[in-house]
């Protein structure tokens, strides 16, 4: 119930903030472990970097459970949209019907269909610096520009 409420709030907020952006995004066929067996073009995939896979494997080993990363796109941030990353225990948080699951070497990333429309063709990465370490979205083909921290972005409008 909580997830459905969150998705409804997200949908309303996104529609109000970005009606023009939403109308420019066309429906596409998605490839994931829950999608049909028809092949999708590479631009519809969500890629997982080796560092993302390694970090998710380490987290799961440390927590002694099956963890997956949930990636969301929300309205907000300094550029219009922002990425949100949550770790969820796969045994307690089962993907819903509108979730797409991407797997590589046992690491799982879950994205709802609405958020996937904003990040398809991107790479989910894990990056370490002296001052922080975090998951991030790289090479988003639908992003026109972003803020300097990389947490928010603007959608390309054709």
Q: What is the DSSP string of 10-73?
A: HHHHHHHH-HHHHHHPPP----STTS-SS---GGG--EE-HHHHHHHHHHHHHHTS-EEEEEEE
CATH code: domain of residue 84: 2.60.300.12
pLDDT digits (tens, 9 = 90+) for 91-138: 887 788 899 999 999 999 999 999 999 999 999 999 999 999 999 999
35 part of a folded domain: no
| Residue tagged 């631009």 (tokens) | 43
Full domain range(s) for residue 105: 2-26+41-155
Decide if 59 contacts 43 (C-beta within 8 A). no
Establish if 36 belongs to a structural domain.
no
Q: How many domains, the chain?
A: 1
- Residue 146 has a pLDDT of 66
């Amino acid at each position: 119930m909580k997830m459905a409420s969150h998705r409804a709030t997200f949908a309303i907020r996104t529609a109000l903030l970005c009606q023009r952006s939403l109308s420019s995004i066309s429906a596409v066929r998605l490839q994931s472990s829950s999608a049909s067996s028809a092949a999708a073009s590479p631009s519809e995939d969500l890629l997982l970097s080796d560092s993302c896979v390694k970090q998710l494997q380490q987290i799961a080993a440390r927590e002694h459970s099956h963890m997956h990363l949930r990636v969301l796109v929300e309205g907000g941030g300094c550029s219009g949209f922002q990425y949100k990353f949550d770790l969820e225990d796969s045994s307690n948080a089962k993907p819903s019907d509108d979730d797409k699951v991407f797997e590589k070497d046992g690491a799982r990333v879950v994205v709802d269909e609405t958020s996937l429309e904003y990040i398809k063709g991107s790479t989910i990465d894990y990056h370490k610096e002296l001052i922080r370490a975090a998951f991030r979205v790289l090479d988003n083909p639908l992003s026109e520009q972003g803020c300097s921290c990389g947490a928010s972005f603007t959608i390309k409008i054709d």
